[in-house]
């Protein structure tokens, strides 16, 4: 506890120095981020539908995939939780992601936690969805999603260097409702 107090005190002491070294208008930055997130507003809501994934041994496994997606920090970031359910209702897959926009670089990033791994990946909104990639030592995995009306269709392809692409993931979700997640339920001041 004492170490935590010292760390917090040090951070508080450095905050004015850091702020002075990096002058910026926080309101303008947040407004720019919020405006950029409008390109992803069609993703907000609760989604559910069938999905398949290719296991390492080549088997295709089917399951029910759910996603809940919503704005946070005043709409300046997008928060995503995905869950895949086995036939018995057990969670077989759980992932969490945050999509953010950096006004300085004019680029989006997906910060992802899944299957015990964590990473930051370039995230690109498209006219009808998004795409993002995971670099690998042998190539990359590319995910491409399209949103059409109340359907979110995402595919993942393994793109090994020098070989043909292999479809390793697909989900076809229907929007089943709106959500106030993750903004709802904040701790009140009193």
Query: Does some domain include residue 190?
Result: no
CB of 149 closer than 8 Å to CB of 125: no
Tell me the pLDDT tens digit for each residue of 20-36. 445 579 999 999 999 99
What is the rounded distance in angstroms from the CA atom of residue 170 to the CA atom of residue 50?
Answer: 8
At residue 61, φ and ψ (nearest 5 deg) are -115, 130
| Residue 10 vs residue 144, higher pLDDT | 144
In the chain, how many domains are there? Answer: 1
SS3 state at 144:
strand
pLDDT score at 22: 52
What is the rounded distance in angstroms from the CA atom of residue 150 to the CA atom of residue 143?
Answer: 19
For the residues 9-23, what does the mean pLDDT come to? 48
For the CA atoms of 72, 74, 75, 81, what is the dihedral angle to 10 degrees?
0
Query: Does some domain include residue 189?
Result: no
What is the rounded distance in angstroms from the CA atom of residue 94 to the CA atom of residue 89?
Answer: 13
For the CA atoms of 42, 43, 45, 48, what is the dihedral angle to 10 degrees?
120
Question: Residue 72 belongs to a domain with what CATH number?
Answer: 2.40.128.20
DSSP state of 7: H
CB of 64 closer than 8 Å to CB of 50: yes
Query: Does some domain include residue 13?
Result: no
Query: Does some domain include residue 17?
Result: no
Tell me the pLDDT tens digit for each residue of 96-135. 999 999 999 999 999 999 999 999 999 999 999 999 999 9
For the residues 75-94, what does the mean pLDDT come to? 96
Q: Assess whether pLDDT exceeds 90 at residue 9.
A: no
Range of the domain at 99: 23-177
- First CA to last CA across the chain, in angstroms? 24
Query: Does some domain include residue 2?
Result: no
């Amino acid at each position: 506890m004492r170490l935590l107090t010292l760390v917090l005190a040090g951070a508080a002491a450095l905050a004015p120095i850091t702020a002075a070294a990096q002058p910026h208008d926080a309101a303008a930055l947040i407004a720019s981020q919020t405006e950029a997130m409008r390109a992803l507003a069609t993703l907000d809501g609760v989604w559910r539908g069938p999905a398949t994934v290719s296991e390492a041994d080549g088997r295709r496994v089917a399951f029910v995939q759910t996603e809940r997606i919503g704005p946070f920090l005043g709409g300046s970031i997008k928060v995503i939780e995905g869950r895949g359910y086995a036939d018995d209702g057990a969670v077989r897959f759980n992932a969490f992601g945050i999509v953010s926009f950096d006004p300085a670089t004019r680029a989006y990033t997906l910060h992802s936690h899944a299957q015990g791994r964590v990473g930051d990946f370039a995230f690109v909104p498209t006219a009808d969805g998004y795409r993002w990639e995971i670099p690998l030592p042998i190539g990359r995995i590319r995910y491409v999603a399209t949103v059409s009306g109340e359907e979110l269709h995402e595919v993942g392809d393994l793109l090994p260097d020098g070989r043909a692409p292999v479809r390793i993931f697909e989900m076809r979700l229907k929007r089943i409702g709106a959500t106030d997640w993750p903004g709802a339920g904040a701790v009140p001041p009193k």
